[in-house]
Structure 1
Amino acid sequence: MFNNENSLEVKDKILKEAQDLFIKNGFKGTSVRDIAKASGTNVAMVNYYFQSKYNLFEIIFEEALDVFSKRIFDTITSDLPFFELIESWIHAYYELLFEYPQIAAFILNEVSLNPEGLTQRIKKRNPYSSFSKIEERIEDEIAKGTIRDTPAADFLLNILSMCMFPFMFGNLAMTLMEIPGNIYNELIANHEKYVIEFTINALKPCDNNTNKTTQ
């Protein structure tokens, strides 16, 4: 039915156009017919190569998740000074989620429909060694008095939720605030600075005399 000579080229074209459409319209807002039209193929060809829209999205997500997890894990296991590490860590989330917004969409979808599958995807990338390293760094900083006593699990959850939430619920936020996507993206870019400052200030120990965080 299809020529072997150009099958790889056709698959790559479908993947590229599908990724662009998923980023622009989201998973639910993109149909197989949309992908076929954008890639210059047809529905039968898309289904032949990828079986379903979900499988196609899954391939794109896996590739993006590889890039995402490597960048994040490399950052949190680096030897940067602690507060610089925090800033780089948060910046990595924002930079990658702007580049791969399908990650946030897919995670939100999987949390609702297939949480066990999502757990296995993350586990196979061995996050434990990276998180153990950041836990050790936190304990060291507490011992030095650089930061207040902070449970590592709570800290990790705070970082994850503050960075992921604006991207997961971007469409809802834009609807509620009645603003277009470009304005929302500007807001989120500026919000990154706030999250960095908020996180670092929350970690700094309090001055018992003034009841304020030390600068």
Structure 2
Amino acid sequence: MFNNEDSSEVRNRILKEAQILFLKNGYKGTSVRDIAKASGTNVAMVNYYFKSKYNLFEIIFEEALDIFTKRIFETINSDLPFFELIENWIHTYYELLFQYPQIAAFILNEVSLNPEGLTQRIKKRNPYNSFSRIEQRIEEEVKKGTIRETPAADFLLNMLSMCMFPFIFGNMAMTLMEIPSNIYNELIANHERYVIEFTINALRPCNNELKKK
């Protein structure tokens, strides 16, 4: 249908414009017709290259997930002091979720509709080394007395919940609070500091534990 050079250019243009629209309007708020119009193509061309809107979104999601997991795993596996690592880790979540806000919504959707597929996506990025590393760091800090006894799985679940939920809940929150997206984004940006302080304070030994030592 197209020569190789033109095909590559058209495909990349569709991907670029689709990403902008998905990030701006979400998956449901973006149509193939919108993507075709923004990329200067037509619906037939979008379907020719990507078969469906879902396939196109999957490509964009996979690319975003690669960036997301790479940055998170790099932070977890760093040799930063433990509390500094926690702060950087949470900041990385917020930074990436602001850049790719649809990741949170897509993960929620996959958990409901295709949990096995999402599990395989994550497994192929080998999260086990990073989990083992943070488990090791927690054990080391417990022995040093800088943090209380903390199961690594519980800690990771808390981290994921606090970082992901504000982005998953975003649309509903803006509707309930009757505020525009820029105000909500400012609220979430400020919330990052609260999450960092809450997480670190929850890890510190309480006064009774310190007295026992």
What TM-score comes out, normalization by structure 1 length? 0.96
Give the corresponding residue for 1:99: 99
Provide the rounded CA distance (Å) in 2 between the counterparts of 1:100 and 1:210: 41
Give the corresponding residue for 2:114: 114
CA RMSD of aligned residues (A): 1.3
The ranges of structure 1 where at least 4 consecutive aligned residues each deviate by more than 3 angstroms after the TM superposition are: none
Provide the rounded CA distance (Å) in 1 between the counterparts of 2:31 and 2:109: 16
Provide the rounded CA distance (Å) in 1 between the counterparts of 2:209 and 2:15: 59
Q: Secondary structure at the match of 2:44?
A: helix
Q: Secondary structure at the match of 1:160?
A: helix
Q: Per-residue displacement from partner, 1:68-110 (whole Å, max 9, x unpaired)?
A: 0000000011100000000000000000111111211211111
Deviation of 1:2 after TM superposition, in Å, equals: 2.7
Q: Which runs of 5+ in 2 are unaligned?
A: none
Deviation of 1:209 after TM superposition, in Å, equals: 8.8
Amino acid at match of 2:103: I
How many corresponding residue pairs?
211
Provide the rounded CA distance (Å) in 1 between the counterparts of 2:169 and 2:49: 31
Provide the rounded CA distance (Å) in 2 between the counterparts of 1:23 and 1:168: 13
Deviates more, 1:22-31 or 1:202-211: 202-211
Q: Per-residue displacement from partner, 1:114-147 (whole Å, max 9, x unpaired)?
A: 1100000000000000110000000111111100
Deviation of 1:61 after TM superposition, in Å, equals: 0.4
Give the corresponding residue for 1:74: 74
Q: Secondary structure at the match of 1:208?
A: helix
Q: Secondary structure at the match of 1:149?
A: coil
Provide the rounded CA distance (Å) in 2 between the counterparts of 1:209 and 1:156: 23
Give the 3 Å change call, closer, same or farther, for CA 209–58 of structure 1 in structure 2.
closer
Deviation of 1:161 after TM superposition, in Å, equals: 0.6
Matched, 1:157 2:161: no
Q: Secondary structure at the match of 2:196?
A: helix
Provide the rounded CA distance (Å) in 2 between the counterparts of 1:130 and 1:52: 34
Give the corresponding residue for 1:193: 193
Give the corresponding residue for 1:39: 39
Deviation of 1:210 after TM superposition, in Å, equals: 10
What TM-score comes out, normalization by structure 2 length? 0.96
Amino acid at match of 2:4: N
Q: Per-residue displacement from partner, 1:4-54 (whole Å, max 9, x unpaired)?
A: 331111111100110011111111111101110111100000000000000
